[in-house]
Structure 1
Amino acid sequence: MSKHLDTRFTLLASAAVLLAAAVAPASAEVVVRGKEGKPLDEIRRAPGSIYPDLRTIVAQPSPSEIKPEFLGPVVLMKSAHIDLEKGTATLPLRKGKLKNGTPVWFIITDTTDENLSNLHGVNYAPKMAYGLTGVASRHATIEKDGSFTFATGSVDFKPVLGVTPGPANAPFPPAKFQPGSVGDATYTPMVYIDNSAKGVLMNAPVVSQATEAELNTMCDGNVDHSKVHDKVLAICPRDETVTLSLTLGFTFDKPIQYLSTEANNPLVAALENATFAPALADLPFALEDASPGESAERIVVVVNGPTGLDNPHRQGLVSALTDGRGPLNILGGIPTINLDYSPMWRLFPAVWTDEAIKKGYRYRMTSALQAAEMSTRGLIKSLDGGDFRAVGFVVNCPVVYRIN
């Protein structure tokens, strides 16, 4: 073979490798994005899980793959395999136990150490470090085999989740409600690791306390919610995975998907399909977002927004109770957008006033700044008719995926 022919074969082989790399979806192991946009079009049809609420999203490739602050999707929780069509995230399933030997199966979504967050593919939440207040966090040690032993905290998954809306003209508040899982007085997802060389808090929501044999019958998705968290769609200790449903929301006008795992109020827990964890009431909630000691960020929950599945401004609890879709909550800062992210969110109920409704001012808000603007105009109040403010409810909502 001549030298020129050999060089040509080398160039062809290199081109083939480059072409294969260009054609193969580099992040297919991380996220299933669904159909892409048309060539030269940066807009595509939204995937099935969010289509009733959003009709279009950013297509691929997106500038955010170069810099996450640019426009486009960002996988925030790198350990998650995201299926946008189904609206699910599959995460590593962690093994643990209580001191009495009761099995504990959990996920890790956030840590207060940036290096460990990068190592485990989870969110960095520095503000969560202020969560060492009262019983808002609990302790754990990591054993030689990598399993966790928790000092306290147990969850009862036997209750049956139920929310019965109020009458047709006033579906909120619900006539009846029951969270589908309830933590004891010491259960919290915030876990301090005692045998770490550096102080670290992990957000480690418990998804089951059943036996390994029981859970291995649920690998294909036929889950028993009397034994697992209500957001679980499949769980498999054999494969070390758990699949959970995601919730659509907004932050600074960008749609995001997040998990919702615990709340410190039984009504909020029932509405969020989350575990009622009363211990989270010990988290500070009345400080400003960036204050020393503040461990939570703000989430705006609209109560009486516009309704109707075909209404592009549909939003809120009344809509969720009547239309069957999520409330489209508005979250504060998340990674890639702001510095004050925490998976613990202080709930700001937003009630549109009669004046706002009469004048047709209601619309779908997608930023906490918009809610603040409407509040200063007197168009939004709190549940009791007072000023728009945090009211003491805390919900654990780790962010997973930034859609745009």
Structure 2
Amino acid sequence: MYSLFTSISARRRAAIAATAALAATLLAIQLVGPASAATKHRNRHGGPVASRRGSARGLGQLSGLLPRNKLTLESAIQVNLSNETVRLPLYPGDAPVPGHPGQTEHVWYVLLDASDVGLAKDLGVNYAPKLANIAISDPAAVQTVTLDSPTPAQNRFGPALVHFQGAPDFSPTRSAVPGPTGFPLKSFSPGAVAGAGYSPFIKIAGSEVVYNAPIVATGDGPFDVVHHTNTGDRVLNVHIAPPAPQGQYFDNYADLLFVKGFDAGQPIVYLSTDAGQPLTAVLERSTYVPALNDAAYNGGDDFLGSARERLFGFINGQTGGDNPQAQGFQHLVLDGHASQDASLSNTALINALRHGGDLLNVFGDFPTLADPRHADAYSPLW
């Protein structure tokens, strides 16, 4: 657990496998050749590519829209590398108001992964077969939801309303106060906390398929995408579409701040939404969901009954905003503006992350476009 961070010598670089449950969905693979924050970035002809000043090495394309042929999450509308966001369809639901029994509110969720390969392809989300194991030792890690049964007049064309058992409370103020060396933090507090019954992993009553469907906003707007009092800490824009003509469907969407990392020698971008421990939730700008912490199971990875994937984080890697070798927890806190709220207007934060100010974690299996072995072993729970 995260208590072990303080026991590792600050005089050497140390990698650990993550033990705090973290829901993190793969969005895209940059596919620029062998790369990591500690190795050289090479071009397609094998020659070295000069690292950009102020950027960690091997990050690939740093601006513009990522080509769609590099997306693993096909339902993503776009990945904008200039402002570090992914635009995702946003779906409606309702849920009990945290702390107010008997009251319900509108909620808005995104759809990221599914445990069934056919439904994953149909919905344009990542196939994550390990999610079928998530409730083995932790039934609370999955919530059972119900769907509306609208008449033809009520729903000409579009998704049915999802009734959740619980929702996040986005009203707390996220706090991340750096310690003397940045990390460990002096103090911290998550900016979003799960209400009773909430998990981002859902099953629809009558079905055993598990979906990763995190709630990212609550209420009817206006949505606070600066201080995040009714949105997740990574939500930078929310668009609710007007009513559509009969037979048509207009997308609602949200722009969410993604995260950079590496996997199998390639730069990747992913979305961190929920975490099972408070510190992880703060560092990842995620919703703290205690029920995820006991999901099957620590150290399991590809063993029988595991719902998780492995992740390696660097505690005391190199730091410095202009250091191409910078990576890890101290780097994020000192150079990645970890104490600030994320918003499109906070361009200093966006630019720091764009040039490698993220944790730059190293992942295990992922929904690769080319290797079925890695794709079938993928899970969004790390």
**How high is the TM-score relative to the length of structure 1?**
0.65
Question: 1: distance between equivalents of 2:236 and 2:261?
Answer: 20
**Structure 2: segments with no counterpart, 5+ residues:** 1-26, 31-43, 97-102, 151-158, 242-250, 337-356
| 1:326 and 2:358 correspond | yes
2:71 alignment partner in structure 1 = 75
8 Å contact 1:158–1:180 — kept in the other structure? yes
Match of 2:183 among 161, 172, 181: 172
* Structure 1 residue aligned with 2:148: 143
Structure 1 residue 156: deviation in Å?
0.8
**In structure 1, what residue type is equivalent to 2:303?**
S
Moved more, 334-343 or 174-183: 334-343
Aligned position for 2:89: 92
Query: Runs in 1 of length 4+ with deviation above 4 angstroms?
Result: 40-48
Letter of the structure 2 residue corresponding to residue 187 of structure 1: Y
Question: Secondary structure of the equivalent of 1:174?
Answer: strand
Measured after TM superposition, the shift of residue 144 of structure 1 is 2.6
**CA shift at 1:209, angstroms?**
1.4
Which residue of structure 2 lines up, in the alignment, with residue 25 of structure 1?
Answer: none
Match of residue 242, structure 1, among 215, 235, 254: 254
Note closer, same or farther for the CA distance 1:223–1:262 as it changes in structure 2 (3 Å cut).
same
Root mean square deviation, CA, Å: 3.1
CA 45–189 in structure 1, closer or farther in 2 if over 3 Å, else same: farther
Q: Which structure 1 segments of 5+ residues have no match?
A: 1-29, 34-39, 60-64, 66-71, 346-404
Aligned to 1:296: 308
Verify: 1:272 aligned to 2:269, yes or no. Answer: no
1:163 aligns with 2:187: no
- Aligned-pair identity in percent equals 34
Give a deviation string over 1:263-291, Cα, whole Å, max 9, x none: 01001100111111101123022343222
Higher helix share: 1
Distance in 2 of aligned mates of 1:323 and 1:287: 30
Q: Which position in structure 1 is the counterpart of 2:377?
A: 340
Aligned mates of 1:286, 1:201 — CA distance in 2 = 20
Q: Name which of 103, 108, 114 aligns with 2:106.
A: 103
Q: Distance in 2 between matches of 1:277 and 1:43?
A: 45
- Please tell me whether the aligned partners of residues 223 and 235 of structure 1 are also in contact (alpha carbons under 8 angstroms): no
The letter for the 1-side match of 2:190 is P
Counterpart amino acid of residue 250 in structure 1: F
Q: Cα deviation per residue 1:141-193 (whole Å; 9 max; x = unaligned)?
A: 121343343352221111111211101xx322100111111112421100011
Matching residue of 2:205: 194
Q: Relative contact order: is structure 1 or structure 2 higher (C-alpha 8 Å, sep ≥ 6)? A: 2
Look at both structures and tell me which one has the larger radius of gyration over its CA atoms. 1
Q: Is 1:114 aligned to residue 102 of structure 2?
A: no
Corresponding residue for residue 134 of structure 1? 139
> Hey, what does 1:260 align to over in structure 2?
272
Equivalent position to 2:192, from 158, 173, 181: 181
Q: Residue deviations 1:275-312, cap 9 Å, x none?
A: 11101123022343222210010111111011122222
Q: Which residue of 2 aligns with 1:348?
A: none
- Which amino acid in structure 2 is aligned with residue 129 of structure 1? A
The answer to whether the 8 Å contact 2:178/2:184 transfers is: yes
Distance in 1 between the 2:50 and 2:233 partners?
Answer: 26
Q: Which runs of structure 2 are paired with 1:49-68 in the superposition (5 Å)?
A: 52-54=55-57, 57=60
Q: Secondary structure at the match of 1:230?
A: coil
- Whole-angstrom CA distance in 1 between matches of 2:144 and 2:119: 18
Tell me how many residue pairs correspond in the alignment: 288
